[in-house]
Amino acid sequence: MNGRRWVQIAAPISLIVLWQIAVSTRFLNPGLFPPPSSIAANFIAYAASGELAVNAYWTLSRLLVGLLIGGIPGTLLGLGMGMSGWVRAYFGPVIALLYPIPKIAILPLFYFIFGTGEAAKWAAVAVGVFFLMAINTEAGVRQIETIYLDVARAYRIRPASFFFRVLLPGALPNIYAGIKLSIGIAIVLAVAAEYQLTRVGLGFAIFNAQQLLDVDRLYAALVAVSLLGLALSGILDALEAFVMPWRAHRRA
């Protein structure tokens, strides 16, 4: 295990130890900031009850569906905007106009349009993911070195070969970065959407703990959300070696 891996392990452990000491010495109010030992005990009880698995499953399913619904069209639009000035001229101002709108603020609108079922939650996640994927993919395409495009045109390679051998590999690092950013916003939006008109999900667990003033359970649910994001990020990092082996080698 190299030195950087030890640092990655030591950093969260040191923060947890400092938190425990701060609560034990009353530097932090234990009523608002329970000690990590108490949070861990509540998290274990939460997991043992079966509630954690059920809530995590529903949150994960909602964010994954939203990622697909928003990510695929966003990536395709980004590819089109990166390659065509006409497409960029048409959609660029629209994205610039709509992207700054806080997606959480328009959650009630999704419920008005799609009702109170799963479609509203999928839509909330998809909208946030769509813009991130479109913007990152466009940037990735436009950063491809001109020499590669010139060589492809000079050899008159077929459109399919151009897409899979030049366009997609060149934009892939930015697409990959967009996916990582999208996972973060997808978790935020999925959890926020579960605050309203739902009875299952990590967002509902947080809301329910808030209503009951159960600070320990609130922190346990927040830890669950954090671990969900950490697990998804870890999966993406593991896949990077297969998707982009040259980047994984450079970071070794």
Give the 3-state DSSP-derived string for 39-80, with helices as H, strands as E and coil as C: HHHHHHHHHHCCHHHHHHHHHHHHHHHHHHHHHHHHHHHHHH
Question: Is 158 part of any domain?
Answer: no
For 80-126, what is each residue's pLDDT tens digit?
Answer: 998 888 999 999 999 999 999 888 888 888 888 888 789 999 999 99
Question: Is 240 part of any domain?
Answer: yes
Q: Percent of the chain, pLDDT > 90?
A: 35
Question: Is 192 part of any domain?
Answer: yes
Q: Maximum distance among all alpha carbons in the chain?
A: 71
Q: Specify the DSSP element, H or E, that contains 18.
A: helix 3-24
Each of the 252 residues of the chain gets a pLDDT tens digit; together they read 566 767 777 777 888 888 888 888 888 888 888 888 888 888 898 888 888 899 999 999 999 999 999 999 999 999 999 888 899 999 999 999 999 988 888 888 888 888 878 999 999 999 999 999 999 999 988 888 777 777 777 777 777 777 777 787 888 888 988 999 999 999 999 999 988 778 889 999 999 888 888 888 898 899 999 999 989 988 888 887 777 776 655 555
CATH for 91? 1.10.3720
Residues 211 and 118 in one domain: yes
pTM of the predicted structure, to 2 decimals: 0.84
Residues 43 and 115 in one domain: yes
Residues 93 and 47 in one domain: yes
Question: Is 162 part of any domain?
Answer: no
Residues 200 and 101 in one domain: yes
Residues 15 and 134 in one domain: no
Question: Is 3 part of any domain?
Answer: yes
Residues 15 and 93 in one domain: no
Query: Do residues 128 and 189 lie in contact, with contact meaning Cβ atoms separated by under 8 Å?
Result: yes
Residues 13 and 65 in one domain: no
Domain count, the chain: 2
What is the reported pLDDT for 246?
A: 65
Question: Is 102 part of any domain?
Answer: yes
Range of the domain at 10: 1-32
Residues 20 and 76 in one domain: no
Question: Is 132 part of any domain?
Answer: yes
Question: Is 182 part of any domain?
Answer: yes
Residues 117 and 44 in one domain: yes
Q: Is 186 helix (H, G, I), strand (E, B) or coil?
A: helix
Residues 42 and 28 in one domain: no
What is the reported pLDDT for 94?
A: 92
Residues 90 and 197 in one domain: yes
For 3-23, what is each residue's pLDDT tens digit?
Answer: 676 777 777 788 888 888 888
Residues 235 and 124 in one domain: yes
Contacts of 150 (CB under 8 A, 6+ apart): none
- Straight-line distance from the first to the last Cα atom of the chain, in angstroms, rounded to the nearest whole number: 12
> Which structure tokens are listed for 198?
């739902």
